[in-house]
Amino acid sequence: MTDDHPYDHDDLSESSEATMIVDANTLRQARAQQKQGRDQAYLIVISGPHTGKMFKVDKDQATLGRSSRAELHVNDVGISRNHARIITYGEDVFVEDLQSANGTYLNGDRLLKRQQLKDGDKITLGSTTILKFTYHDELEENFQKQMLDAALHDGLTGIYNKNYLLNHLSTELPFALRHGTFLSVVMFDVDHFKPVNDTYGHLAGDMILKNLAEITSGVLRTEDVFARYGGEEFTIVCRGTPVDQAQALADRVRMVIERHDFVFEGTRIPITISLGVAGLPHHTARTPEELIGLADQALYDAKRGGRNRVGVAPF
The residues annotated as belonging to the active site are 232
d(CA 248, CA 78): 34
Name the 3-class secondary structure at 208. helix
Query: Measured in Å, how far apart are the chain's first and last C-alpha atoms?
Result: 82
Helices (H), the chain: 9-19, 24-38, 138-152, 162-179, 193-200, 202-219, 243-259, 288-304
Please report the DSSP string for 241-298 in residue order: --HHHHHHHHHHHHHHHHHS-EEETTEEE---EEEEEEEETTS--SSHHHHHHHHHHH
Burial of 269 from C-beta contacts in 10 A (0-12 / 13-18 / 19+)? middle
Closest among 270, 279, 222 to 248, alpha carbons compared = 279
Q: Cα–Cα distances in Å, from 41 out to 38, 50, 84?
A: 8, 19, 17
